[in-house]
Amino acid sequence: MENQENKTEVIVVGAGPAGIACAITIARAGKEVVLIERGKFSGSKNMFGGAIYAQPTREIFPDFEQNAPIERKTIEHKYAILGEDDGTVISYKKKTDKNVSYSVIRGKFDRWMAEEAKKAGVILVEETVVRDLILENGYVKGVKTEVETYYADIVVLADGVNSLLARQIGMRNKLKPEDVALSVKEVIDVLKKGSTTLATTKSVTFVEGKNMRYFTKVITENFNITEEEVNNILKDETYLDELIKEYWFLTDDIKNKNIYYSLEGYLYPDTYEFYTNASIKDIFRKLLDNMDDKLTPYKEEIENSKYSVHEMMTLASIIELEAGNASDRKGVAGVFYNRLNNGWSLGSDVTTYYAEKIDNWSRDLKKSELSSCNSYNTRSSCMAGKLPVSPICNPGRESIIAAIEPTSHKYYYFVADKNGKTYFNETDNGHTKTVNQLKRDGLWIEYEN
Ligand SMILES: Cc1cc2nc3c(=O)[nH]c(=O)nc-3n(C[C@H](O)[C@H](O)[C@H](O)COP(=O)(O)OP(=O)(O)OC[C@H]3O[C@@H](n4cnc5c(N)ncnc54)[C@H](O)[C@@H]3O)c2cc1C
């Protein structure tokens, strides 16, 4: 139902060049327009410079060449026509100023455009992410941010070339690599007096299924960052609050005092290219951005589930370590949900290893460890019907999807053989029989201590 107080004539989502140009044109036509941008300020999400073409820019900002923060006039353009495995480059120079372009730093240029838009009467709302569109009878009637709902006669989506919002309502398909081009810009680090090195990058891999202790090791081995710095930032409430504000999948759940490492589970395992002088915040941001890309297509499914995103990520981390092979993950997820829904304990050894801060399967667990009441240890009866307080490793994509889309069945037990094949059972009796059969067939996994 529309709330007239929160209703405006036009809402534009995204204060990049397209959104600002649109909003300013509408405001100049005398309409009320609200421009919503997720960044701290327009351009803050853009780390690149870019070429701004004078002619279309002059149509909106006639004097921009005098007033805007432009860097240099481009005197030569090169166009590359790319083939499968070759390319032809055409170079073009022009004597007059008629169709020139300028290089700009987007962080500065977009911000200047946004200030001009405000002068024209645009209501700019920054640091606000539009999460959903409100659809009524097939029409977009407004937008939902994290805190508020706004209605409008017209909603313009200018949230960038990937427009996740247009994808959410089926107006856009996911971009195919062959339909887009990405130019690679060269970042030139101008040497300052006394400095001798250029910024270089390195490739670093975070393996899936590993926990924060391993991630910390990878970070400290590859960067000039200490274990203490990693641990301190994971406990820094101001930093965590900033992240919670920025990433929809991070919630206050990560601030629970019983959690060992606040970002455990949310750092997407992958191979990344980092600057060698990257800070711990740069590293976490890259991994969280990647998690955002992977999780966002499932946002609606997660929100419609009776489990929270934190619970699902926690379950995904257990599935990652418990499921023998990828094809069984959804079945294993089904077993865990059946147990949770019936108040059973998950009975997962990997949660006990995590609770004790020892590497998985590095030795047998002691009886006292298995029964110890700890908010991670699902072997303990005090955790019946409960998930651990946080994920216990950083799961990969298949485990995350398994937690979101489990197979529905009646099994309460599973066991994997030494080849990774998983056997499911409804009863303890059936489970014991399977285990004995595996032992007889030489398929039982024996761990070396
Ligand atoms: C490496 C690279 C180099 C490029 N170089 C050039 C160039 O030199 N010249 C050129 O013309 N083009 C260049 N492009 C293309 C360029 O990105 C686009 O021309 C331009 O940014 C498009 O502007 P836009 O406003 O549509 O999108 P964007 O600039 O992507 O702006 C979208 C804005 O929407 C915001 N937003 C997104 N989702 C939400 C949400 N849910 N809620 C609130 N706000 C949201 C973003 O924070 C962002 O500020 C380049 C692109 C890349 C990737």
Pick from 25, 36, 37 the residue to mutate for probing ligand 1's pocket: most ligand atoms within 8 Å of its CB: 37
> How many angstroms separate the alpha carbon of residue 102 from the centre of ligand 1?
17
pLDDT in tens, 54-104: 889 999 999 998 889 988 888 777 888 888 888 898 987 776 666 688 989
Q: Is residue 166 part of a domain?
A: yes
Ligand 1, atom 50, residue with closest C-alpha: 50
Q: Which of these three, 179, 214, 231, is where a domain ends?
A: 179
Is the Cβ–Cβ distance between 330 and 338 less than 8 Å?
no
Can you tell me which atom of ligand 1 is nearest the CA of 39? 47
Can you tell me which atom of ligand 1 is nearest the CA of 145? 42
Q: Is residue 207 part of a domain?
A: yes
Tell me: do 361 and 225 sit in the same domain: yes
Can you tell me which atom of ligand 1 is nearest the CA of 51? 8
Tell me: do 129 and 210 sit in the same domain: no
Q: Report residue 27 as tokens.
A: 């405001």
Query: What integer pLDDT is reported at residue 144 of this predicted model?
Result: 94
Q: Report residue 177 as tokens.
A: 């690599």
Q: What is the CATH number of the domain that holds 39?
A: 3.50.50.60
Can you tell me which atom of ligand 1 is nearest the CA of 162? 30
Mean pLDDT value across residues 292-312: 94
Can you tell me which atom of ligand 1 is nearest the CA of 14? 34
> How many angstroms separate the alpha carbon of residue 74 from the centre of ligand 1?
20
pLDDT in tens, 330-385: 999 999 999 999 999 999 999 999 999 999 988 889 999 999 999 999 999 999 99
Instruction: Identify the band that residue 180 occupies on the pLDDT scale cut at 50, 70 and 90.
Output: confident
CA–CA distance, 409 with 370 (Å, rounded to integer): 28
Can you tell me which atom of ligand 1 is nearest the CA of 128? 43
| 106 dihedral zone (left: phi>0; alpha: psi -120 to 50; beta) | alpha
Please give the tally of structural domains in the chain.
Answer: 2
CA–CA distance, 163 with 245 (Å, rounded to integer): 20
Q: Is residue 80 part of a domain?
A: no
Q: Is residue 443 part of a domain?
A: no
Tell me: do 55 and 113 sit in the same domain: yes
Instruction: Identify the band that residue 312 occupies on the pLDDT scale cut at 50, 70 and 90.
Output: very high
> How many angstroms separate the alpha carbon of residue 104 from the centre of ligand 1?
13
Tell me: do 249 and 151 sit in the same domain: no
Ligand 1, atom 31, residue with closest C-alpha: 16
Q: What percent of the chain has pLDDT over 70?
A: 92
> How many angstroms separate the alpha carbon of residue 16 from the centre of ligand 1?
6
Q: What percent of the chain has pLDDT over 90?
A: 68
> How many angstroms separate the alpha carbon of residue 113 from the centre of ligand 1?
14
| 256 dihedral zone (left: phi>0; alpha: psi -120 to 50; beta) | beta
- Please spell the DSSP secondary structure of 209-266, one letter per residue: T--HHHHHHHHHHHSS--HHHHHHHHT-HHHHHHHHHH-TT--GGGG-TT-SSTTTT-
| Contacting residues for 12 by C-beta, under 8 A, at least 6 apart | 19, 22, 23, 26, 33, 34, 35, 36, 155, 156, 158
Tell me: do 291 and 371 sit in the same domain: yes
**Which position has the higher pLDDT, 446 or 430?**
430
Tell me: do 367 and 236 sit in the same domain: yes
Tell me: do 125 and 262 sit in the same domain: no
- Please spell the DSSP secondary structure of 275-336, one letter per residue: ETT--HHHHHHHHHHHHHHHHGGGHHHHHTSSS-HHHHHHHHHHHHHH-SSGGGHHHHHHHH
Query: What integer pLDDT is reported at residue 449 of this predicted model?
Result: 38
Tell me: do 363 and 404 sit in the same domain: yes
Q: Is residue 416 part of a domain?
A: no
Within 6 A (CB) of ligand 1 lie: 13-19, 36-39, 45, 48, 50-51, 129-130, 158-160, 165, 182-183, 185
Q: Is residue 213 part of a domain?
A: yes
Tell me: do 59 and 121 sit in the same domain: yes
Q: Is residue 242 part of a domain?
A: yes
**Which position has the higher pLDDT, 401 or 93?**
401
Range of the domain at 174: 4-65+106-179
Query: What integer pLDDT is reported at residue 179 of this predicted model?
Result: 78
Query: What integer pLDDT is reported at residue 194 of this predicted model?
Result: 55
> How many angstroms separate the alpha carbon of residue 351 from the centre of ligand 1?
43
Tell me: do 165 and 246 sit in the same domain: no
Instruction: Identify the band that residue 193 occupies on the pLDDT scale cut at 50, 70 and 90.
Output: low
Query: What integer pLDDT is reported at residue 421 of this predicted model?
Result: 86
Ligand 1, atom 5, residue with closest C-alpha: 50
Q: Is residue 422 part of a domain?
A: no
Tell me: do 220 and 313 sit in the same domain: yes
pLDDT in tens, 9-30: 999 999 999 999 999 999 999 9
> How many angstroms separate the alpha carbon of residue 184 from the centre of ligand 1?
15
> How many angstroms separate the alpha carbon of residue 161 from the centre of ligand 1?
7
Tell me: do 256 and 331 sit in the same domain: yes
> How many angstroms separate the alpha carbon of residue 17 from the centre of ligand 1?
7
